[in-house]
Amino acid sequence: MSLKMFAEEALADFSTTAAISPSSPQLVAAMLEPLPLAGARVVVELGAGTGVMTRALLSEMPPQSTLLVFEINQRFYNYLKAHFSDPRLVLIHASAEHVDLELRQRGFTEVEAVLSSLGLGLMSERERQAIFERLVPFLSDRTVVTQYQYIHALQCKNGRLSRLDLRPLLNRYFGSVQSKLIWRNLPPAFVFACRRNPVSSSVRADKAKRPRETRTR
């Protein structure tokens, strides 16, 4: 999908698009880097858009794994259906609030990785909580969830725009919430890596040795 078509869809239905342009390669890399994809059996993507991150996930996942992709926007869903034929991909035209039902219907009891591009700021507090409450029972101690949020971090509440701080929400469901800012995206975005339990000192030391996104304007 071209940038022009993406922008047209954003203008037509921003509530389900929640973005003004596709994710940059730098944002995609930051979203995938914390996820334990090499040995994953079940991976969930919430809000695939045009599939930029979907394609990256499939390139990193094992041959026998399954990727459940939720996309509620009709135009994006049709685009994904027409352009992705990987047998590991299960495309679901439904709200992320149905994640528990879709997982149980397919006999899945555990998810190793979750990548979320949902525009949480455009949802009500009830909707945000419902998604995480229905997802958490499927997460193990080794599961990692990544979520990004644009640097302006706006939410619509009672018809007014205000700033949304995601940390209190994420801290309610996860024992460890780490973040970094990716400047090379339009607009720049924070990437949150969430785990049920606090990250051990050995894991933190290992991650500190890895090259990080250069934080320059």
Q: What pLDDT, on a 0 to 100 scale, did the predictor assign at position 2?
A: 45
* Residue 213 is assigned to a structural domain of this protein: no
* Residue 122 is assigned to a structural domain of this protein: yes
Q: What is the mean pLDDT of residues 120-130?
A: 90
**Angle, helices 52-60/25-32, rounded to nearest 10 degrees:** 40
* Pairwise CA distance, residues 160 & 79, whole Å: 32
* Residue 124 is assigned to a structural domain of this protein: yes
Q: What pLDDT, on a 0 to 100 scale, did the predictor assign at position 97?
A: 96
Q: In what order do the strands lie in the sheet with 139-150?
A: 89-92, 66-70, 42-46, 111-116, 139-150, 189-195, 176-182
185: pLDDT strictly greater than 80: yes
Q: pTM surpassing 0.85?
A: no
Q: What pLDDT, on a 0 to 100 scale, did the predictor assign at position 164?
A: 82
Greater pLDDT, 102 or 202: 102
Tell me the pLDDT band of 202, cut-offs 50, 70 and 90.
very low
In the chain, % of residues over pLDDT 90: 66
* Pairwise CA distance, residues 183 & 214, whole Å: 8
Q: What pLDDT, on a 0 to 100 scale, did the predictor assign at position 157?
A: 64
The whole domain housing 104 covers 3-208
179: pLDDT strictly greater than 50: yes
Q: What pLDDT, on a 0 to 100 scale, did the predictor assign at position 151?
A: 83
Q: Is the peptide bond before 187 cis (omega within 30 degrees of 0)?
A: yes
Per-residue CA distances from 11 to 6, 15, 74, 120 (Å): 9, 9, 14, 18
CATH number at residue 190: 3.40.50.150
58: pLDDT strictly greater than 50: yes
* Residue 82 is assigned to a structural domain of this protein: yes
Q: What pLDDT, on a 0 to 100 scale, did the predictor assign at position 34?
A: 98
* Residue 217 is assigned to a structural domain of this protein: no
Give the model confidence (pLDDT) of 15-25 as tens digits.
444 454 678 99
* Residue 161 is assigned to a structural domain of this protein: yes
* Residue 119 is assigned to a structural domain of this protein: yes
Q: How many domains does the chain have?
A: 1
* Pairwise CA distance, residues 14 & 180, whole Å: 25
In the chain, % of residues over pLDDT 70: 77
Q: What is the mean pLDDT of residues 172-199?
A: 93
212: pLDDT strictly greater than 90: no
